[in-house]
Amino acid sequence: MEGDKRFWRAVLLALPLAVFAVFVIWPLASSFYYSFTNWNGFNPDYDYVGLDNFQKIYTDKLFYQAAINTALWMIAAILLPTALGLGLALLIDSSVPGSAAFKSIFYLPICLSAVVVGQIWVWIYQPDWGLLNTVLEAMSGERLRYAWLAKPDTALWSVIVAWSWQQTGLSMVIFLAGLTTIPEDLLEVCEIEGATTAQRIRMVVIPLLTPATVVVIALSVINSLKGFDILYIMTGGGPFNSSDTLAMHMYNESFKKYLMGYGSAISVVLFLIALTIIRVYFRQLRKVDELYG
């Protein structure tokens, strides 16, 4: 009977492992393999080109542009939803009238798919009749036709705003959960001791929210590394590659230029960058765990 149990445990563990191997490990290994070839995606014949694809990365201007955009995306993705989510959580936690309704409304965008969010914001940014230009026109009284997504200096930031709009709800809910763990009597003591609201937030609430902040930042980093779909819908990396991230650049090289070998090399570099960030992050996470248990 014990042997039978062990058999079924092995079977039940083997199934997800098989799925993981087929859908994660195998494609990952394939990418490493193809990054050393000049495969075009269609042709079954290709040559081994050694490190040529990786050398090409050094001279690829679009790669550097994409790397800078990825870094900007990641920094903004950490700062904006975290700061906005914390602000909203503190407001809702202060029992403003209708806070339950606000909580639902702010959380709603995270329930939508990135494609839907992207399309909503494409309409908001539309230069001729979009909501943003209409509101700005009403405020300034001047005809404004700024094409937010079609101008290289605003395209990436416009997508980041849309992305933050979606992610903020998630951060807010995590912070709200964190706020429930802060003892009420501690806050009352602060009040009795004469601490202002700002002092209470800065010196008591935010430090005690560290575990929640760690989770929010972790999710922000992971989600920003995955942030491809909304960019694809809103700009496709354009105009003329100005909002390319590394993931988008990899996609364009592989599927639009048919340079699957070079695209694989970019994906390997992206994988190594992600691996480094996640390793550094987990090291910090362990320190936080030790501090807060």
Partner 1 sequence: MSLLNRRGLLAAAAMVPALALGTSAFAQSEVTITHYFTGELGLKALNEQIARFEADTGHTIKNSPIGHEDFKTDILVRAAGDSLPDVFSYWAGARTQFVVDSGSLHPIDDMWNREGLDDVVAKSVADSATMYNGQRFLVPFNYHYAGMFYNKKVLADAGVAELPSSWDEFLAVCETLKNHGVAPIALGSMHRWPAQFWFDYLLLRTAGPDYRAGLMDGSARYDDAEVHAAMAMWKELVDKGYFAPNSNADTWTDASDKVARGDAAMTLMGTWITGYWNGIGLTPGEDYDFFPFPAIAEGVPGAVVGPVDGFVISNDGGNPEGAEAFLSYMVSSTDVQASWTDQFGALSANVNVDPANYNDVMQRAFATVAAAEVFAFNYDLATPPPVAEVGLSMFSRFMDDPSMVDEILAQVADDAAQAFQE
Least distance between partner 1 and beta carbon 74 (Å):
25
Convert 247-274 to b/e letters by CB count within 10 Å (16 or more is b).
bbbbbbbbeeeebbbbbbbbbbbbeebe
Is 126 one of the binding residues for partner 1 (CB under 8 A)?
Answer: yes
Q: For the chain, what is the largest distance between any 2 Cα atoms, rounded to a whole number of angstroms?
A: 81
When binding is defined by CB under 8 A, the residue of 20, 33, 240, 292 that contacts partner 1 is 240
Is 26 one of the binding residues for partner 1 (CB under 8 A)?
Answer: no
Cβ contact 69:243 at 8 Å: yes
**Residue 199 identity:** Q
Is 6 one of the binding residues for partner 1 (CB under 8 A)?
Answer: no
Window of 18-26, 77-85, 149-157, 204-212 that interacts with partner 1 by CB under 8 A: 149-157
Window of 103-111, 125-133, 206-214, 269-277 that interacts with partner 1 by CB under 8 A: 125-133
Least distance between partner 1 and beta carbon 247 (Å):
14
Cβ contact 78:220 at 8 Å: yes
Site residue total, partner 1 (CB under 8 A): 30
Is 45 one of the binding residues for partner 1 (CB under 8 A)?
Answer: yes
Is 145 one of the binding residues for partner 1 (CB under 8 A)?
Answer: yes
Other residues' Cβ atoms within 10 Å of the Cβ of residue 127: 15
Cβ neighbors of 85 (< 8 A, separation 6 or more) are 167, 168, 169, 170, 171, 172, 174, 175, 216
Is 87 one of the binding residues for partner 1 (CB under 8 A)?
Answer: no
Window of 80-88, 147-155, 189-197, 220-228 that interacts with partner 1 by CB under 8 A: 147-155
CA 113, 119, 124, 125 dihedral sign is: positive
Residues that bind partner 1 (CB under 8 A): 4, 8, 40-45, 126-128, 145, 147, 149-152, 236, 238-241, 252, 255-260, 262
